[in-house]
Amino acid sequence: MHVEARGISKIYGSGWLIRRRRLVLDGIDMALAPGKRIGIVGRSGAGKTTLGLILAGILRPDTGQLRCGGIDLWTAGRQVRRRLGQRLQMVFQHPESSFDPRWTLARSLEEPFRLCGRVPSMQDLSAMLASVELQPALLTRRPGELSGGELQRMAISRALAMVPAVLVLDEPTAMLDVLTQARIIRLLEKIQRDTGVTIVLISHDPALINSFCHRVYRLDAGRIDFQGNGGS
């Protein structure tokens, strides 16, 4: 599925008494070509997370379109939006906030299936974990009993279970040590090659982005510029 952002803008209102409006994204055009690893860099506060949420179909832009296979996600009917939305997935910086601390990991991984009216078998769940190189024994644990790296792999595996066309990762390794970060980046590279999913990697770290991505964009002052082809 070809996903394309056209003329995306986002304004945040801030301040309680005097409402100040801030244009965070100002006419973003971006094509997410199938099967590519696309990087977005920019300093803190540049609007990277906001853009990520919009590309993942989670946040509605104030103007512009997110076109998925030629259909504008936010003007499509509810059924279509839900179906298209499932094919856009996002992994966040803090994996511990993506999981309910009271639930076993098995329960958390089942959740997206339940929402589509299916119950995965233990075998399905084990296969999901194998795809991110985790042992099935972790399924009976709770989030607090996993390392940050393991939990981030869980988050990636849960996102992949929906067979996304686009996987947005927002600073997925920023909270991890250097070695764990390198392992997860290698895993993402392998997953991308094996499944053909389009990956959008968001980071403030140009070295990471340049080594991982085919195409690199820089976000600055609400606008996006093509920076060049990465090393991949």
Under rule CB under 5 A, residue 49 binds Mg ion: yes
Residue 222 contacts ligand ADP per CB under 6 A: no
Closest by CA to 81, choosing from 99, 69, 63, is 69
Quote the CA–CA distance of 156 and 95 in Å, as a whole number: 9
In angstroms, give the least distance from the CB of 151 to Mg ion: 19
Binding status of residue 36 toward ligand ADP by CB under 6 A: no
Nearer to ligand ADP, 24 or 90 (CB): 24
* Pattern 48-67, ligand ADP, x by CB under 6 A: xxx-----------------
39 binds, among ligand ADP, Mg ion, none (CB under 5 to 8 A by kind): none
Number of residues that bind ligand ADP (CB under 6 A): 11
Tell me: does residue 160 bind ligand ADP (CB under 6 A).
Answer: no
- Which residue has its beta carbon closest to Mg ion? 49
Q: Which of Mg ion, ligand ADP, none binds 42 (CB below 5-8 Å, type-dependent)?
A: ligand ADP
Closest CA to 172 of 184, 154, 190, 187: 184
Q: What residues line the site for ligand ADP (CB under 6 A)?
A: 12, 14, 24, 42, 44-50
